[in-house]
Amino acid sequence: YEKIGVIGAMQEEIELFLEHMEQVQVTEKAQIAFREGRLHGRSVVLCKSGVGKVNAAVTTQLLIDTFGVEAVVFTGVAGAVDPELNVGDIVISSESMQHDMDVTALGFPRGTIPYEETSLFPADDKLRKLAEEAGTALSEGRVKVGRVLSGDQFIASRDTVAKLYEELQGACTEMEGAAVAQVCSMNRIPHVIIRSMSDKADGSAHVNFAEFTLQASRNSYRIVDHMLKQL
C-alpha cells in the first residue's frame, strides 16, 4: 500500500503515533486534523476521528477521497465482551457490526441493516494476519481474532455485556470500528481494527476505562507500529 490511514478516536489513542511520525503536514477538513507524514519510511495519514460512528464514518471517507489512502487501520481501546478477555488483552477484528442497529420492530434481527447485502464487515485477510503476528510477538496477554461490536453507547453493565456476547457473539465493544469497516467496504478499501481492552464493559467499566486507557492505547500502538514495519 502506498498510503495508509491510521485512525484513533481519542487523543490517547493517537498520541504515540504523533510522537513518532516524521515530516508531518497537517490539513484540517470537517474539523478533523489529518496528519500526513512518514512512519518507518511509509506514507501514513494519522487522524483523531472523535468518538462515535458518525465521526468515524466521515473521517474514513475523507481519508479515502481527499487523502487517497489505500488501506485503513483503526487503533484504540475497547471494552471486553468475551468473558475470557481481560484488561490489557488484544482483539483483532475478524469482522465488525453495529450492535445498536435495531429494526427488530420490522422483523429484522438485531444488528441487521435493512435492505443491505450484509451487516457484517470482514477485515482484510492480509492486514488481519499481520496484526495477529504483531500481537502475538508483542502482547503479554491474550490476542484474540474476533468480532468487534460497535455502537454509539459506552457499555457499562453486566447484563448488557452478557447479551452482546450471547446474542451477537462479540469479542469486544467500542464506538467506531464497524463504521470504519462499512465505509471501507463501500469503497472497496482494505481495513483492520486493533483494540486493546481497557475495561470489561461491566459495572466497573467507567472506573477501569479511566485507569487503563493510556496503557491499553500503548498496547495497540505497539502492535500497529510493528505491523507497519512489516507491510
Q: What is the largest CA-CA distance in the chain?
A: 52
The CA-based angle 52-88-190, given to 5 degrees, is: 50
Residue 23: CB atoms within 10 A of its CB come to: 9
Q: Does 224 bind ligand ADE (CB under 6 A)?
A: no
Ramachandran class of 155: left when φ > 0, alpha when ψ lies in -120 to 50, beta otherwise: beta
Report if residue 154 touches ligand ADE, rule: CB under 6 A.
yes
- Give me the 104-143 binding string for ligand ADE, x by CB under 6 A, dash otherwise: ----------------------------------------
Q: Is 205 in the site for ligand ADE (CB under 6 A)?
A: yes
Size of the site for ligand ADE (CB under 6 A): 14
Catalytic: which of 13, 36, 82, 176?
Answer: 13
Tell me: does residue 175 bind ligand ADE (CB under 6 A).
yes
Q: How far is the CB of 126 from ligand ADE (least distance, A)?
A: 26
Q: Which residues fall within 8 angstroms of residue 159, CB to CB, at 6 or more apart?
A: none
Q: How far is the CB of 4 from ligand ADE (least distance, A)?
A: 23
Look at strands 71-80 and 32-39 and give their pairing: unpaired
Tell me if residue 133 is catalytic.
Answer: no
- Of 82, 95, 132, 199, the active-site residue reads 199
* Residue 126 or 206 with smaller CB distance to ligand ADE: 206
Q: Alpha-carbon distance 210 to 143, whole Å?
A: 22
For residue 220, which of 35, 50, 10 has the smallest C-alpha distance? 10
Backbone phi, then psi, for 27, in 5-degree steps? -125, 135
Q: Would residue 2 show up in a list of annotated catalytic residues for this protein?
A: no
Nearer to ligand ADE, 121 or 209 (CB): 209
Cβ distance to ligand ADE smaller for residue 36 or 199: 199
78 binds ligand ADE (CB under 6 A): yes
Which residues are designated catalytic? 13, 199
